[in-house]
Amino acid sequence: MRTFHVKDIHIGRSCPVLMGVLNISPESFYPGSFVPISAVHETAVQMITDGAEILDIGARSTAPGSPPISVSEETARIKESLHELQGEDVIISIDTMHPEVLNAALHFDIHIANDISGLSNPDLAELIADAGLPAVLMASGKSPGDARSLQDTHDLIRNVLTRAGDNGIEDIILDPGIGKWIPERTAEDDWDLCRHFHELSVYDLPLLVAVSRKSFIGELTGQSPTGRLAGTLAVTTRLIESGASVIRAHDIPETRDVIKSVMHLMR
């Protein structure tokens, strides 16, 4: 597997890296995760204390049906949150599809770009390459996470990796796009991708798991986002065993303990 370092964090090491979701979007599908700007610093420090090694900051909800916001509003939220974190020794990932947002973030100390559009925007791809940032790249075609099957996922991953190669982006964390990113995607599509997650090791890249409290878990358990923690941790356990390198999570202490427990069993 291709591995690399982000500051002192080894991406692709044997033990998965824990990425905490720092959600500054009040439109989020999981309102319990929303962090107002006034609480960003305190929340970030607590996440790091609890075991998060990377903070993924997102200012726009991308769930189907979420209220849209302007790029200028997303930019303003990101800038405000990064201002709150100035001076902290924390690895920061910026979750955006818009080059204007990432460009504004580059005036601060950031370390990773998280692009759910999979470099669909050439301007964003060029900006990531010019900045020399590692990138989390989702399997995406015309819109984020628009695969409908395992074969679609493989096809889109190959397309995304071609875009990355064309731009000279080599330090990649691959996100297979688990979740209901498009209305046509079914819960069974997500379960099937989870069952076959181990097959994605063929790309020889670190793999991201981002299943925290998502709808496919809720459809099975009958739980709203608030009640999906147990299901999330069960799926996360299976995907760690299947080769996950980075776990993106809302619930840091619980996910930290899952990672520790699974890795101890796998020794």
List all residues 6 or more positions away from 24 whose beta carbon is below 8 Å from its beta carbon. 34, 35, 36, 37, 40, 57, 58, 59, 77, 78, 80, 81
Distance separating alpha carbons of residues 244 and 88, to the nearest angstrom: 28
Compute the half-sphere exposure of residue 208: CA atoms within 13 Å on the CB side of its CA.
25
The backbone region for 176, taken as left when phi is positive above 0, alpha when psi lies in -120 to 50, beta otherwise, is: alpha
Structure-token pair, residue 239: 């995907």
Q: Which residues contact 36 (CB under 8 A, 6 or more apart)?
A: 24, 26
Q: Would you state the structure tokens that stand for residue 142, as one six-digit string?
A: 């015309």
Q: Are 119 and 137 in contact (CB under 8 A)?
A: yes
How many angstroms separate the Cα of 102 from the Cα of each of 58, 59, 88, 97, 166?
Answer: 11, 12, 19, 8, 20
- List the structure tokens of 171: 């330090």
Tokens of 7: 């500051």
User: Which amino acids are annotated catalytic?
Assistant: 214, 248
